[in-house]
Chains A and B, each alone.
Chain A
Amino acid sequence: MTQRNKNIVITGCGAVSPYGIGIPALFEGLKTGQSAISLAPFYDEESVVKKAGYCHDFKPELYNPSNSFTKSLKRLARGTQFAIIAADQALEAVGYQSEENKGDRVGIVLSSTRTVLEKTEQFYEVLLDKGPRATSPLIFQETVNNASASHISIKYKITGPCITLTEGATSAFTGIVMASGWLRAGKVDRVLLLCAEGLTTFCQKAYNHALGHAPVVSNKTDNCCPFSLERNGYVLGEGAVAIILETQEHAIKHHANIRALIAGWGFAHDAYRVGRCHPEGRGLEMAMKNAIEMSNLSPNEIDWIIANANGSVVGDSAESRAINRVWKNDAPPVSAIKSMLGETEGITGGFAMLAGLLGMEYDILFPTLNYQTIDPSCSVDCVPNQSRIKASQHILLNAMGFGGTCGSVVMTKPCL
């Protein structure tokens, strides 16, 4: 059936990261192996974890100084502000004009897990301190998970289908599945795939309390060192990624700049224990196999893997073991970009896709930072500490949620 064979491609993108606003800042940071993890302002003295991938000095006026723009972002959650700025970049990259009234041909998929917690906390604090009548309706409406999508649809007059996925790290990838369905069925011509998260004091306290019982939170070294023997947990990250997806046919017809092809995807659940990943990475193994199979490739055609690895003691070895089973101990280089950006949950897939397409465009593999001592349970070539020059044709991206969801996507370099 011809519709099912329509390849899905990436044509536009935008980002907000701790490196700054925009793709060039992100690329520069990743390429030079600069850590975006630093002391975060909201961590207090008692906090065991003091670092995060925090967007320091973020101000909407750095992107667009006009009063109307900054005013429209004022009341919104941090993550929502990031999302809007990323979306603006991506829509501009593909020349989308809201005045042309083509908004019904654009769909939105939002991946977001904790963006609205900031507003939930604000609302709830007043409820507890002052009672129901003192609460704010304007804040309540921002506590709905799809708030970012809602604001963007209003701002850019986008009236096509809209969905918000909140299952964690794999949401961006399951979002691609939904987007491809709409695109192939001709329901829309473009999908704006958005990923956004924001960091708040509530997050910090919550993850702090999960400490010791969820063995994934950093409590010894406060460096995030995926795959390294010294690793002892993750640090949180924030930001936003916006990606425009189209069918290859549409992109060619409209002379769009094709950044990458999405060749395939795969998903599986550990079904192990909530809050724990399976120590052998059994879910991720299936996800990777399914993604490679759907792409009509074999494992040895994958040139680079962008890992989910975030410094988690169990998670990183689970991923390594799964990779070594699939590649029979002959895996390509595996980069843990979370060593630079932090654990970004709903943006996992977004940052992975951006890093992947930039790596393929510039023949570069980004590094895994803070790598010190080999851990035999993580025996992969993790591109330690420095970028490497290498051309990639096909790459695999991994995402693992905290509760056992696993997803993988294969991206292919576009032919010129």
Chain B
Amino acid sequence: MDNIAITGLGCITSLGPDKDKVFDNLIKGKNGIKPIQSFDVSAYAGKQGGEVKDLTSTPDAINTTCPQYERAAWLLLKATREAIDDASLILNQQNPFRIALSTGTTLGGMVNGENYYRALHQNDQKIHPNQIISASQYAPNDFVMSELGLRGMSLVTSTACSASSHAIGYALELLQNDLADVVFAGGFEPMSELTFAGFSILRSITQDKIRPFDKNRTGLVLGEGAGMLVLERESEAQKRGARIYALLAGYGSSSDAYHTTAPHKEGLGAARAMRMALNEAKLNLTQVDYINAHGTATPANDIAETQAIKNVFGEQAYRIPISSIKSMIGHTLGAAGAIEAVATLLTIHNNAIPPTINYSTPDLACDLDYVPNQSRQIKVQAALSNSFGFGGNNAVLAFVKPDLS
């Protein structure tokens, strides 16, 4: 089986319009969460979120690049273009039929869908058909495929919070079974009132700060953005002299079969997914240097995730630094897997672990090392990235430096 390498990264979040800006701010422990501007939050208890700067409801940037498309498509295109550049990949030197795009999202083009629905509701006759065409789950992908002239497979995964981790895991399948030579795998999620209202009424959104693993945590805040990875077979990457961030060595996937929103209390499904990823990556428990947590700061997730990590790692759980970047950019839903994969890969690349910020009071039930408030410079050669979605859908990715034996 070929090793699969990551050769390019792209990212846009509330902490910056590109991956280096984003990671730099993550390491500095910057807070990307601010009062939400893209819709009226006066009727909501929690009013904060991680919006991408300079991207209000009808941004000029979108109108110039892709007038009929909206936030989501633009976020995806931006991150994809950055990743392609970062990989030093010249598209017109590639066979376009052998390039695939695999993304995860919850909303797809639903921001346009919301606008459409509002217009319907107000009996507004000025409805542009492109609003509907662009509102589907798959329109942003099709848009990027067409803009970049990509002719291979296009896949969209929608398993809520774990979506883009699955989308990245899918790249393993495509590359190892010769269905593609290059895969752009990632995710995107716009800020939207639909999801904001939903998480609000589920009482998942905190009115305080987002404090993963903290004793006084009361929930999450939402974020938006996009993350993108360029994946190729290691042998091909080496042939063209590409810089390799790490190998995607393992992908674990499982279902809790427990509840439609709450995670299994002991995190058994999550543990299973972590084990699958570790086994596939052939990693010993002692070799894992970092875990990028799902860490949503809901009372339920953080304890279940902690239990799951202890279940898998035993005593080693106390050694491994664990952090949640959701503390800084919020929960980016369908994009979380990809954005957090980018952060994990840059962690490996820079040997620098981003912190879990807003951490004040330890929780006896969550007693592991969550890298509180300050980043840490240590050698990271192998890491896991966890994403646990609604309905108990678990996805774990294992990244390993190529020279790790």
Contacts and interface: CB of A to CB of B under 8 A. Distances in A.
Contact of B138 (A135, A150, A156, A405): A405
Given A150-B255, A154-B260, A273-B146, 13 more contacts: A104-B254, A123-B194, A127-B193, A127-B194, A145-B159, A146-B393, A163-B166, A167-B141, A168-B138, A209-B129, A210-B132, A271-B146, A403-B145
A166 B174 CA distance: 17
Interface stretch (A17-25, A81-89, A173-181, A302-310): A173-181
Contacts of B120: 205
Given A168-B136, A267-B152, A403-B139, A145 B145 contact: no
A140 B138 contact: no
Interface in A96-115: 103-104, 107-108, 113
Contacts, number: 238
Nearest to B269: A159
Given A146-B158, A181-B177, A286-B97, A404 B142 contact: yes
A132 interface: yes
B148 to A, nearest CB: 8
A4 interface: yes
A161 B390 contact: no
* Interchain residue pairs A-B with the least CB separation, the first 5: A150-B391, A403-B142, A161-B253, A213-B129, A145-B158
A362 to B, nearest CB: 33
A389 interface: no
A95 interface: no
A245 interface: no
Nearest to B129: A213
B255 A159 contact: yes
Given A168-B138, A275-B133, A402-B136, A154 B159 contact: no
A141 B136 CA distance: 19
A62 interface: no
Contact of B155 (A144, A165, A181): A165
Contacts of A151: 260, 391
B133 A274 contact: yes
B392 interface: yes
Contacts of A286: 97, 151
A274 B146 contact: yes
Contacts of B111: none
Could you tell me the dominant secondary structure of chain A's interface residues? mixed
Contacts of B138: 113, 166-168, 401-403, 405
B56 to A, nearest CB: 21
A143 interface: yes
B198 A274 contact: no
Contacts of A404: 142, 145-146, 154
A297 interface: no
Contact of A274 (B43, B117, B143, B179): B143
B137 interface: yes
Interface residues of B, number: 76
Contacts of A267: 152-153, 179
Contact of A4 (B157, B177, B393): B177
Contacts of B108: 166
A274 to B, nearest CB: 5
Contacts of A210: 129, 132-133
Contacts of A153: 255-257, 391-392
A288 to B, nearest CB: 13
Contacts of A104: 254, 272
A166 B156 contact: yes
Given A166-B108, A213-B130, A160 B137 contact: no
A158 interface: yes
Given A213-B129, A271-B96, A135 B255 contact: no
A167 B129 contact: no
Contact of A269 (B116, B145, B197, B276): B145
17 contacts: A108-B255, A120-B110, A120-B113, A123-B198, A132-B43, A133-B201, A137-B201, A137-B203, A144-B159, A146-B158, A149-B159, A150-B393, A210-B129, A212-B129, A269-B150, A275-B133, A275-B139
Contacts of B143: 274, 403
A146 B116 contact: no
Given A104-B272, A214-B133, A146 B200 contact: no
A128 interface: yes
Contacts of A206: 116, 132, 135
Report the contact-size class of chain A (Cβ under 8 Å from the partner): 35 or more
A147 to B, nearest CB: 7
Contact of A124 (B114, B136, B170, B272): B114
A140 B135 CA distance: 19
B361 interface: no
A39 to B, nearest CB: 23
Nearest to A148: B391
A383 interface: no
Given A160-B255, A167-B141, A206-B116, A174 B133 contact: no
A361 interface: no
B129 A214 contact: yes
A140 B197 CA distance: 9
Interface in B225-269: 253-261, 269
A137 B204 CA distance: 10
B49 to A, nearest CB: 14
Contacts of B253: 107, 160-163
Contact of B201 (A128, A140, A401): A140
A242 B391 CA distance: 20
Nearest to B110: A120
Contacts of B121: 125, 128
B347 interface: no
A96 to B, nearest CB: 13
A132 B195 CA distance: 11
**Which residue among A4, A157, A160, A271 has the maximum number of chain B CB atoms within 10 Å of its CB?**
A271
A280 interface: no
A124 B194 contact: yes
